[in-house]
């Protein structure tokens, strides 16, 4: 979706609200497709001393498989949108991922939302921040409680363990 900005491009201090819904169901992240619902984005584009600044937020629900415990999860996420819109990029070599070129007098909201979502998504999908994962021996999900596996002692302490047994 293109957002027409012709009304505020030449008017410092002017602003324009935006709201959009973007389908990112084709977005592959690792081995999964974590977004099945549309990503909602809203905010405002302001002309601040001739610079177009887009600020707002996007939110959706991630449906994924935890990278630590392999359990399925659903989690609501919200990411800030804080980007700069320019008429042309100064240099392709020093391109900033938070700067987006205009297409004529319009901003491509689909491209901006997709980029902001991907750049804010964690490198590992976790069911919760403090996920304990699974036991490497028995495979029990440690979020459900401790397993009955005995911890392996460092082989360098084997002689000391024999003293404890006596």
Q: Give residue-wise pLDDT tens across range 84-115.
A: 988 776 666 556 778 888 888 888 888 999 99
DSSP the chain: -EEE-TTTTT-TT-EEEEEEEE--TT--BTTB----SPEEEEEEEEEETTEEEEEEEEEEEEEEE-TTT--EEEEEEEEEEEEEEESS-S-STT--TTEEE-BTTEEEHHHHHHHHHHHHS-SS--SSTT---B-TTT--BGGG----PPPPPPGGGHHHHHHHH-
Full-model pTM: 0.75
Say whether both 9 and 22 belong to one domain: yes
Mark whether 162 and 90 lie in a shared domain. Answer: no
Which structural domain range is residue 158 located in? 135-166
Average pLDDT over residues 65-85: 90
% of the chain at pLDDT higher than 70: 95
Residues 96 and 165 in one domain: no
| Residue 98 shares a structural domain with residue 157 | no
9 plus 56 within the same structural domain = yes
Q: What local confidence, expressed as pLDDT, does residue 152 receive?
A: 74
- Per-residue pLDDT tens digits for 2-35: 888 878 888 888 889 999 999 988 888 777 788 8
Q: What average pLDDT score do residues 121-137 get?
A: 88
Q: Mark whether 8 and 84 lie in a shared domain.
A: yes
How many domains in the chain? 2
My answer on whether 103 and 157 are in the same domain is no
pLDDT tier at 79, thresholds 50, 70, 90: very high
User: How sure is the predictor about 54, in pLDDT bands with cuts at 50, 70 and 90?
Assistant: very high
Per-residue pLDDT at 92: 60
Q: What percent of the chain has a predicted confidence (pLDDT) above 90? A: 27
Higher-scoring residue by pLDDT: 105, 41: 41
Residues 39 and 76 occupy one common structural domain: yes
Same-domain check for residues 53 and 101: yes
Based on the domain organization, do 23 and 55 belong to the same domain? Answer: yes
Residues 79, 122 within the same domain? yes
38 shares its domain with 72: yes
């Amino acid at each position: 979706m293109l957002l027409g900005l012709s009304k505020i491009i030449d008017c410092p201090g002017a602003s324009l609200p935006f709201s959009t819904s973007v389908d990112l169901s084709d977005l592959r992240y690792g081995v999964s497709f974590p977004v099945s619902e549309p990503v909602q984005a809203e905010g405002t584009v302001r002309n601040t001393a001739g610079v177009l600044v887009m600020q707002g937020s996007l939110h959706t629900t991630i449906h994924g498989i935890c990278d630590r415990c392999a359990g399925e999860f659903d989690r609501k996420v919200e990411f800030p949108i804080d980007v700069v819109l320019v008429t042309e990029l100064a240099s392709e070599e020093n391109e900033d991922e938070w700067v987006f070129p205009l297409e004529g007098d319009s901003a491509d909201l689909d491209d901006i939302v997709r980029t902001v979502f991907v750049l804010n998504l964690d490198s590992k999908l976790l069911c919760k921040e403090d996920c304990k994962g699974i036991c490497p021996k028995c495979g029990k999900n440690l979020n459900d409680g401790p397993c009955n596996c005995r911890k392996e002692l460092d082989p360098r302490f084997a002689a000391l363990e024999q003293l404890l047994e006596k």
